């Protein structure tokens, strides 16, 4: 990314991303005392905005970060996107508890830092979505509140690095009992006995916006959805596997730790859901601004 060209917004002030200066005492930097969101931009408009802002609100409440005007933040995001002229890309938003002398308890007088940027980005996954991708599995060494979209992503970073070194697209996390929770930046779905199977919405996973949207699409398409975790040692019970996320959309998984899923090609249910997702995005692109999102 050419950061000179990327437009950022810091507490309401627009500036090039590479001119942004954030205090070394910012609690996001020192403690990971921060939450974030990543939204997709299709045709110059943000996708599933209400859903992302509801989750942002929930993350803020969960870490007791007060003093953020969500509607104002949303307005800043739309203004930044409009000024940036980004048509295809992402918006990154991060809110921290602000800068204060380093001490663990919440500071008394810090102002939250509201940082965001809009980045033009080519969809680098087109081919992988067609062909299917491999994943590895890694122990889920994260904390007990994976439902909060916090910036504490070290376990995710380490696992994803392992995936990259294995030339794979994602790492799936498993708990000590062998059950799979989600990926480092995606949610996980399988197809078993004609049903879509995905981990229940609880503290073990991030309630993915794409996951929620897909569950709705699946039900509309008459595909039953079962909220249950898959097991790392029983993946031979599933005939299809895919991960979902804002940037990945629906990514077929055709091998896990070197073992193929079915015949090692994307399956029909995954294909149907990809088509339904693409149709929804296409309808969004063609709809008037203001209906969904901006």
Nearer to ligand PDD by Cβ, of 124 and 194: the residue is 124
- Please, are residues 100 and 27 in contact by the beta-carbon 8 Å criterion? yes
- Please, are residues 265 and 240 in contact by the beta-carbon 8 Å criterion? no
Contacts of 47 (CB under 8 A, 6+ apart): 39, 40, 41, 246, 281, 284, 292, 293
By annotation, the residues acting in catalysis are 149
Kindly state the smallest distance separating residue 199's Cβ from ligand PDD, in Å: 10
Kindly state the smallest distance separating residue 56's Cβ from ligand PDD, in Å: 11
Nearer to ligand PDD by Cβ, of 198 and 246: the residue is 246
Residue corresponding to tokens 């810091």: 10
Distance (Å, rounded) from C-alpha 293 to C-alpha 291?
6
- Please, are residues 159 and 171 in contact by the beta-carbon 8 Å criterion? yes
Kindly state the smallest distance separating residue 286's Cβ from ligand PDD, in Å: 22
Nearer to ligand PDD by Cβ, of 193 and 227: the residue is 227
Could you tell me which of 39, 35, 7 has the C-alpha nearest to residue 293? 39
How many whole angstroms from its chain centre is CA 199? 16
Q: Taking the CA atoms of the chain, what radius of gyration do you get in angstroms?
A: 19
Residues that bind ligand PDD in the complex, under the rule CB under 6 A: 38, 182, 185-187, 206, 208-211, 244-247
Nearer to ligand PDD by Cβ, of 210 and 274: the residue is 210
Residue corresponding to tokens 């090692």: 264
Kindly state the smallest distance separating residue 138's Cβ from ligand PDD, in Å: 13
- Please, are residues 143 and 151 in contact by the beta-carbon 8 Å criterion? no
Nearer to ligand PDD by Cβ, of 97 and 185: the residue is 185
Kindly state the smallest distance separating residue 236's Cβ from ligand PDD, in Å: 25
Kindly state the smallest distance separating residue 215's Cβ from ligand PDD, in Å: 11
Give the Cβ contact number of residue 231 at 10 Å: 14
Nearer to ligand PDD by Cβ, of 73 and 110: the residue is 73
How far lies 17's CA from each of 10, 51, 72, in Å?
A: 9, 26, 20
213 burial via Cβ count (<10 Å: 0-12, 13-18, 19+): middle
How many whole angstroms from its chain centre is CA 20? 24
């Amino acid at each position: 990314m050419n950061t000179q060209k990327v437009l950022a917004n810091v507490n309401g002030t627009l500036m090039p991303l590479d001119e942004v200066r954030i205090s070394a005492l910012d609690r996001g930097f020192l403690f990971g005392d921060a939450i974030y969101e990543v939204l997709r931009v299709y045709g110059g408009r943000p996708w599933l905005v209400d859903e992302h802002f509801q989750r942002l609100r929930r993350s803020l409440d969960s870490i007791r970060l007060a003093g953020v005007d969500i509607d104002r933040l949303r307005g800043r995001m739309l203004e930044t996107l409009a000024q940036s002229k980004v048509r295809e890309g992402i918006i990154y938003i991060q809110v921290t508890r602000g800068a204060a002398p380093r001490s663990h308890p919440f500071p008394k007088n810090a102002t939250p830092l509201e940082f965001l940027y809009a980045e033009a980005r080519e969809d680098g996954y087109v081919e992988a979505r067609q062909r299917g991708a491999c994943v590895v599995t890694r122990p889920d060494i994260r904390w007990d509140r994976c439902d909060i979209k916090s910036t504490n992503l070290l376990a995710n970073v380490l696992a994803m690095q392992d995936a990259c070194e294995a030339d794979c697209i994602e790492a799936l996390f498993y708990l000590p009992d062998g059950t799979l929770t989600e990926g480092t930046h995606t949610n996980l779905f399988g197809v078993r006995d004609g049903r879509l199977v995905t981990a229940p919405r609880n503290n073990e996973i991030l309630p993915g916006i794409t996951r929620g949207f897909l569950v709705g699409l699946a039900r509309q398409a008459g595909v039953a959805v079962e909220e249950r975790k898959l097991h790392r040692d029983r993946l031979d019970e599933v005939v299809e596997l895919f991960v979902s996320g804002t940037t990945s959309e629906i990514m077929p998984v055709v091998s896990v730790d070197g073992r193929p899923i079915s015949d090692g090609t994307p399956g029909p249910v995954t294909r149907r859901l990809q088509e339904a997702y693409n149709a929804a995005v296409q309808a969004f692109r063609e709809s008037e601004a203001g209906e969904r999102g901006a």
